[in-house]
Structure 1
Amino acid sequence: MDRILFGDNQFFAVNHISDEKSRAQAIKFKTDEAIMKVLDDAIDAGIHTFMCTTHDRIAAIVSLIEANPSRYSGFKIYPCMPYAHKYANAVTELGIAGALKQYVPGNFFGSLFKGGMAYISKDYESIMELMIDAEMKMFRGVSTPVVFLQNVITDLLIGLRAYDILIAFHAYVARKYNAEAGFITMNMPRLVEILHQGGISNPIICASINKAGFRMSGGKEAYEHTLRTKTFRAVAMQVLGGGAIPPREAIEYVCGLPNIESILFGASSKANIESTVSYIHQFDKLKAHGADRPVYV
């Protein structure tokens, strides 16, 4: 995986700091061209991987990328599924039956109503595979070397102790899409144990990792211990702690941790993208040269 990944929260009015900023982002990115402008800024800053949800608007972004192969040669997308708000909105607008008709293949829809809950209980892995296939349709024609399961599902399955479904997701993504599975979670220490016990020796796990302990279930110390002692590939997200940590201080902390394979961030402006990329390179360089503490320059 690349060291730096670019996220999509800002494009879809997801802001952990304020509702006002969310509204401003919704207005700023109401067109696909506005999203592409920021993606181009990220590429110009040396970022070559876009980690995004399966929001309906992403399909149009993928089409624009496919239409310009010279500009986006080598550009990768890491899909994150499912996009829960998409299904919640569909249920609100169309009802449960209407949402199923819109997003689930017809064969499954018919089987569901013939067999009801017994069908779901009997063949949950096949249902999962159908849902993955439905989500992945929009990414045909682009490189998707890693496919992530969103934390809303990962952590639900952990809570239900349905660990075999996590393992089945990993296996299916590899078999059907020749890709690695990634897992987003708010409980990194527990998920590492579960995946290791399930035979996944070096999993890709994306979690909130930040100096403030924001959304780090079990606490910052537990995460730091897991990073030091377990074998897995960590992707650090929400490194600013929901806006509580100044960017330079936040990046210094994350870059100083062991076993952080990638850092995921989102930004709305070229200046913020370039600033964050610069900080990551600066503190990575200091760490590579064995500096005990980064020296501000």
Structure 2
Amino acid sequence: MQNPKILLVGDNPFHGVSHLSQNRARSRDNQISNPDYCAELVKIAIENGADGFMFSVSEITLDIIRALTEKKIPIKLYAIAPAASDYVRLASKLGTPGMAIYLAKQIVASGNLKAIFNGFKGVVFQNPAALMKAYLYYEIFRIRKASQSKQAPYCFLLHEIITEMALALNLEWLFKSFVEFMLDMKIKPGFETRNSPLLIDKLLKLGIDASKVVIVAPYNKIGFQMNPSKEECENALTDIPQTEVIAMSILASGYIKPPEAIEYINGVSQLKGVVIGVSREKHAEDFKIFREALDGGVQ
């Protein structure tokens, strides 16, 4: 008998993200930018069967976590960093050097000594691994402060932009250093990607124990965002039967109806869970339907 599939609340709607249309994203209710309203949606989803919250680390989502903490809602956190949209906005406003200076000031202002020490070490010795650790310490510090938990988050994932860049540039040190660092922190390391076959192949070639990582990637009935192809993405899963693979884009940004989406997910046994965004109360209440449908697929 398989374990029940994991059901996570996603944060894309809270950032105004739609993978099909920016106009559609902009047209969403203004309430969606209110952290208390968003926290209430996550709370309703949790009450209706969601297991946790997957989010990009930003002031918006940290405010949501603070609100959930105040409501005393126990929740498993899956963090993704860096929050690409935030840093793109910073870079366009301050330039890349200005963004780096801003981030350095934020790390110092946080008072996190491990982050400050690794940042100093990285700059002085031109050590990219130390710089990465400084950034990771800083983001983990922010999450733990917002959640008031020394164990949070359960999982910390590298954003797909970093994952794809590391794959393209063959940055083996990044994969190894990141995984080792997170395991030392007692946090499950993870990678977000839109090319799961390439990522899986890289992890296995590097000798990284795939059962100790989380992979978040698009998996859906029509192959939306599944690169290089739907078939190759599905076949790659057979190489990592014990890995916690979370499917995103299961509704193909609204193109696929929920019953079809769940039927597909339940038919791919290697997928351990799904992440679904919510933008209104009805969506959050629908998590009960998703929970029951996913549990119905467990044999």
Q: Give the shorter-chain TM-score range.
A: 0.7 to 0.9
Q: Deviations over 1:169-191 (max 9, x none)?
A: 1111121x311101111111121
Kept in 2, the 8 Å contact 1:187–1:207? The answer is yes
Partner of 1:295: none
Partner letter of residue 85 of structure 2?
A: H
Verify: 1:196 aligned to 2:204, yes or no.
yes
Q: Distance in 2 between matches of 1:128 and 1:161?
A: 16
Shift of 1:287: 4.7
Query: Does residue 250 of structure 2 align to residue 239 of structure 1?
Result: yes
Instruction: Determine the structure 2 residue equivalent to 1:249.
Output: 260
Q: Whole-Å Cα distance in 2 between the matches of residues 222 and 20 of structure 1?
A: 32
**How large is the RMSD of aligned CA atoms in angstroms?**
2.3
Determine the structure 1 residue equivalent to 2:193: 185
Do the aligned partners of 1:100 and 1:109 also contact (CA within 8 Å) in 2?
Answer: no
| CA–CA distance in structure 2, aligned partners of residues 31 and 237 of structure 1 | 24
| Aligned counterparts, 1:70-85, within 5 A | 72-73=73-74, 75-85=75-85
Query: Per-residue CA shift, 1:69-92, capped at 9, x if unaligned?
Result: 3xx13x121110111121121122
By how many angstroms is 1:60 displaced? 1.8
Q: Distance in 2 between matches of 1:22 and 1:227?
A: 32
**Is residue 46 of structure 1 aligned with residue 46 of structure 2?**
no
**Which of 139, 161, 165 matches 2:170?**
161
Residue in 1 that maps onto 2:235: 225
1:30 is aligned, of 20, 33, 45, to 33
| Structure 1 Cα separation of the partners of residues 88 and 197 of structure 2 | 29
What do residues 42-76 of structure 1 show as CA deviations (whole Å, max 9, x unaligned)?
1221213101001222222222233333xx13x12
Shift of 1:101: 2.7
Q: Confirm or deny: 8 A CA contact 1:251 1:280 kept in the other structure.
A: no
2:221 — aligned with what? 211
Partners of 2:5 and 2:158 in 1: how far apart? 19
Letter in 1 for 2:21: S
Structure 1: 5+ residue stretches without partners: 289-297
Q: Residues 210 and 79 (structure 1 numbering): CA distance in 2 closer, same or farther, change over 3 Å?
A: same
CA distance in 2, matches of 1:77, 1:200: 23
Could you list the runs of 4 or more consecutive aligned residues of structure 1 that deviate by over 4 angstroms after TM superposition? 106-112
Identical pairs, percent:
24
Q: 1:109 deviation in Å?
A: 7.0
Structure with the bigger RCO (C-alpha within 8 Å, sep 6+) is: 2
Over 3 Å counting, the alpha-carbon distance change for 1:229 and 1:100 in structure 2 is closer
Give the Å deviation of 1:156. 0.6
Counterpart in 1 of 2:112?
none
Which residues of structure 2 form unaligned runs of 5+? 109-115
Q: Distance in 1 between matches of 2:119 and 2:215?
A: 32
CA distance in 2 between counterparts of 1:61 and 1:275 reads: 20
Counterpart for residue 92 of structure 1: 92
Indicate if the aligned counterparts of 1:103 and 1:134 stay in contact, CA closer than 8 A. Answer: no
| CA positional deviation for 1:164 | 2.3
Which of 160, 163, 173 matches 2:182? 173
Match of 1:9 among 9, 12, 28: 12
Q: Which amino acid aligns with 2:163?
A: T
